[in-house]
Structure 1
Amino acid sequence: MNEITKATVHVAVYDTFSDWEIGFATAHVNGPLWQKNPGRYEVKTVGPSLEPITTAGGLRILPDLALADLRPEDSAMLVLAGNDLFPTEAYVPFTAKAREFLDAGVPVAAICGATGGLALAGLLDDREHTSNAAEFLNSLGYGGAHLYRDEPAVTDRDLITAAANAPVDFARAIFERLDVYEPHVLDSWYKLYGAKDPAGFYELMSA
């Protein structure tokens, strides 16, 4: 049997990384259960360097790859979680990499403070998007206020954005963009995790 060639979803990691915002996405992208093509994706972390980072939850992560070595053509998606670094120079390399991905037609998914970093970089000026609140992005003086949508998660072309309190909606948008599940399976997944309806569990078991 031929071995499946895996595509890599890269998760950017940095100090103050908001652990809770990407757990649904990474666990289900990396795990084959219910997937349309089981084993198609793997998740790897990319940091400012190969030095360990410490998340907001106090976890230490040793990145698989340094940001400078990440190329869009080697990735299926770049995922950016919230953080306290987004308005500082330390986060500029990550927004620059996001621009590189978008220019290459490779999707980027950003949640919480990471959307603030993208706003400061001008990457939300011509795409529909969301964040924690319109006021949050407006306080940054960005030029995309007319494209803000008050929704848990928004996808516009190759960019996914989400609010900090919407990790399930963020995950669903990622699964949709990556074509992880058949549509009816994704509906059942969201019924279970998003709507908290136990019927979704039984539907997934039958899938």
Structure 2
Amino acid sequence: MSGNKRMGLVLIEAFADWEYGLVAASAVAWFGFSLTVLTPGGGPVTSMAGVTVTGGSALEAAPADDFDAVILIGSDRWEKGAAPEADALARAVHDSGGTVGAICGGTVALARCGMLEDRAHTSNGRKWLRDVAGDYAGADHYRDTPEAVTDDRIVTAPGTAPATFAVAVMTSLLPGGEDQIAEMRAMMAAEHTV
């Protein structure tokens, strides 16, 4: 069903440990995607919890046509303007028909480069996104919801929603995969039905 989909996972210094696991593991283990970790300069990055990821590919050299999706994982460094090269990659992947996902601080990069101007989106709060991304042009399209929001193959989520983020990314990438995605959603929601 996946058709050899290729995902680029953008991790920058101080990335949020809880935000990438479900989307990355689901893509690879359940749907058979290939996954490339992209880091600034291809160097090591360390998570908020102190876990170091090595062996990434250089974010600034990543060709957009290598990916069906690019996913920007949160970090407080996005607020400080880190990894501006992610802006161009996200735009290029989307322009070529791919899916772009951003969770938590990763949404700042999309706001910064204008990708949220005309699209429904969410993040860690409208005021927070305005404060850290400047008076971005898409504020009127902000949706105050605890779950991921998808509009035109752009998936955004607050940092507290890694499960709905993973489901929304897979839904965007796998039209026709409703049964397997429904299984995934049910499994992730099981703890909340007790």
- Normalising by structure 1, what TM-score? 0.83
Question: Which residue is equivalent to 1:182?
Answer: 177
Change (3 A) 1:125 1:7: same
Secondary structure at the aligned position of 1:17 is classed as coil
Question: Is residue 18 of structure 1 aligned with residue 16 of structure 2?
Answer: yes
Opposite residue 155 of structure 2, the aligned amino acid is I
RMSD between superposed Cα atoms in Å: 2.2
What is the CA deviation profile of residues 52-95 of structure 1, one whole-angstrom value per residue up to 9, with x for unaligned ones? Answer: 11111211111431112211211111010101111334321112
Change (3 A) 1:98 1:85: same
Question: Is residue 133 of structure 1 aligned with residue 125 of structure 2?
Answer: yes
Question: Which residue is equivalent to 1:157?
Answer: 152
CA distance in 2, matches of 1:13, 1:121: 18
CA distance in 2, matches of 1:30, 1:180: 17
C-alpha contact (below 8 Å) 2:43/2:56 kept by paired residues: no
CA distance in 1, matches of 2:175, 2:47: 27
Which has more helix, going by share of residues?
Answer: 2
- Indicate the structure (1 or 2) with the bigger Cα radius of gyration: 1
Question: Which residue is equivalent to 1:48?
Answer: 40
Unaligned runs of 5+ in 1: 200-207
- Normalising by structure 2, what TM-score? 0.88
CA distance in 2, matches of 1:148, 1:89: 21
What is the CA deviation profile of residues 86-124 of structure 1, one whole-angstrom value per residue up to 9, with x for unaligned ones? Answer: 133432111222122222222110000111222122221
CA distance in 1, matches of 2:112, 2:56: 27
Secondary structure at the aligned position of 2:114 is classed as coil
Secondary structure at the aligned position of 1:132 is classed as coil
CA distance in 2, matches of 1:110, 1:63: 22
Question: Which residue is equivalent to 1:145?
Answer: 139
C-alpha contact (below 8 Å) 2:60/2:86 kept by paired residues: no
Unaligned runs of 5+ in 2: none
